[in-house]
Amino acid sequence: MLGLGAMLSPTLPFMMQQTNFTKKDFGPDFKWGTATAAYQIEGAYKEDGKGLNIWDTYSNKKGKIKDGTNGNIACNFYHSYKSDIALLKSMNFDVFRFSTSWSRILPNGIGSLNQKGIDFYHRVIDECLEQNLEPWITLYHWDLPQALQDKGGWANREIVDWFNEYTEVVCKAYGDKVKHWMILNEPAASTTLGHLAGIHAPAKIAPRKFLAAVHHTTMCQAEAARVVRANVSNATIGTTFSSSPVSPKNDKARHVKAAHRMDILLNRLFVEPALGMGYPTEGWNFISKIERYIKQGDEQKLAFDFDFIGLQNYTRNITKYSLIPFVWAFEVLPSKRGVPKEKTTDMGWEVYPEGIYEVLKRFSAYKNVPPIYVTENGCAFPDKVENGRVHDDRRVQFFKDYLAQVLRAKQEGMDIRGYYVWTLMDNFEWQEGYRPRFGLVHVNFETQERIVKDSGLWFRNFLDTD
């Protein structure tokens, strides 16, 4: 188990990084892709038999999403998947990472299947294969069927069976065509924001439910991976984790303690049980209460021999002590610590390229860690369309700087096998709505017109070196 000391270990100055790299420097087998999520792009929220999910319910409530929007139409990917996959191919990527919508496939979460939903992902997968792109499926990217939320959702232990049932259906449907599987997307974000901070669906501020949800999510992480192993021949199985370097505001004991807790929440809570290390509870009484939800025999089931882990990194976190009960840790926002505006993104996150190196180094240091893919990295900036072009120079620079750090980690011997951009196209950014634009492709949400941004053109050129 790594402690705060390791997390704070100094890194080489950024100036020493290689900046004139090419695709070849990453090696011939390194995979390049883009990542997406069903709810953020598909739309068609009530079409062809799809059931509602917690984000349909949440975003359609007044006042929940900052710009008053919802994901009902989103990027209309449900109808435009062919041309969107063609755009991805045109930028010379190898991999399309997408998630399946649980309630499109099983409208009530369990029980009867929606054949039209199953057919949709067959069309997406077939289109990828046709274009010589590898489809990578994420089974859960935050859109729990509403019918299951009505039964208690992630706080109900029965979810382990529900999720296994859904996983088996998806594996049986697509397992002969899809060989790369990710079980969960960023479980730390969905449990914390959904059950503790109350700003993501199902929007609970409920510490006990949070602890239950964490344990059930961790159980699902490993149990569903076993279901994939049993149902898909030659599967490569992983799951993804959000990750951010965390450091205390200063070395005062209360801030150091707060940073330790923030680190557990942001970085350790899901990977350590998956690696057979159990829950990281030391020094945090609240988290140690998770034991109440652990039944006999559970502990042995939390680990799985994943073929890879996905790491997702955007920024870093500077933490200070807070009086807020249960958490007692708060981020000192970049704007409050003098980070200049040019060094923050449209999400208010600090651009901190060294951070991706730091998390790669840290996760690589776990004993028995499998190979790592960067399954998300990207940035939102306020892009403008000018004469049919989007000159997103800051995003181009962001990718150059972060990729330099990924390469640095790889050259130091860390087993990093791929890099996937978040995200293919501008989309519904959860509680922020459509304002933050993360895409390589600009989307006009009135007309659904697409324009490949300069960053997409940069990748097209960078990846065109075979």
Smallest gap from Cβ 345 to ligand IFM, in A, equals 10
- Check: CB of residue 63 under 8 Å from CB of residue 115: no
Q: How many residues does the chain have?
A: 466
Q: Total binding residues for ligand IFM by CB under 6 A?
A: 7
Structure-block tokens of residue 328: 């007692």
Smallest gap from Cβ 84 to ligand IFM, in A, equals 17
Taking the C-alpha atoms of residue 429 and residue 381, their distance in angstroms, rounded to an integer, is: 13
Taking the C-alpha atoms of residue 165 and residue 187, their distance in angstroms, rounded to an integer, is: 19
Site for ligand IFM in 20-79 (CB under 6 A): 37, 40
Residues 6+ apart with CB under 8 A from 96: 33, 34, 36, 85, 88, 128, 133, 134, 135, 136, 424
Query: One of 127, 331, 376, 429 is an active-site residue; which one?
Result: 376
Which residue in 360, 369, 373, 336 sits closest to 11, CA to CA? 360
Count CB neighbours of 466 within 10 A: 7
Site for ligand IFM in 243-282 (CB under 6 A): none
Between β-strands 317-321 and 95-99, what pairing exists: parallel, antiparallel or unpaired?
unpaired
Q: Site map for ligand IFM, 419-448, x if CB under 6 A?
A: ---x------x-------------------
Instruction: Choose between 127 and 186: whose C-beta lies nearer to ligand IFM.
Output: 186
266: helix, strand or coil: helix
59: helix, strand or coil: helix
449 is known as an active-site residue: no
Q: Indicate the residue whose CB is closest to ligand IFM.
A: 37
Which of residues 312, 319, 344, 375 is near ligand IFM by CB under 6 A?
312
Instruction: Choose between 17 and 312: whose C-beta lies nearer to ligand IFM.
Output: 312
Which of residues 42, 56, 143, 186 is near ligand IFM by CB under 6 A?
186
Site for ligand IFM in 131-160 (CB under 6 A): none
Smallest gap from Cβ 435 to ligand IFM, in A, equals 12
Instruction: Choose between 57 and 312: whose C-beta lies nearer to ligand IFM.
Output: 312
330 dihedral zone (left: phi>0; alpha: psi -120 to 50; beta): beta
Smallest gap from Cβ 37 to ligand IFM, in A, equals 5
223 is known as an active-site residue: no
State yes or no: residue 350 binds ligand IFM (CB under 6 A).
Answer: no
Instruction: Choose between 186 and 354: whose C-beta lies nearer to ligand IFM.
Output: 186
Cis link prior to 13 (omega < 30° from 0)?
no
Instruction: Choose between 175 and 353: whose C-beta lies nearer to ligand IFM.
Output: 353
- Check: CB of residue 97 under 8 Å from CB of residue 32: no
State yes or no: residue 376 binds ligand IFM (CB under 6 A).
Answer: yes
Residue spans of alpha helices (H) in 60-206: 77-90, 102-105, 115-130, 146-149, 159-174, 187-195
Query: One of 127, 186, 354, 429 is an active-site residue; which one?
Result: 186
Structure-block tokens of residue 441: 């492709």
Instruction: Choose between 267 and 312: whose C-beta lies nearer to ligand IFM.
Output: 312
State yes or no: residue 240 binds ligand IFM (CB under 6 A).
Answer: no
Q: Would you name the residues annotated as active-site residues?
A: 186, 376
Residues that bind ligand IFM (CB under 6 A): 37, 40, 186, 312, 376, 422, 429
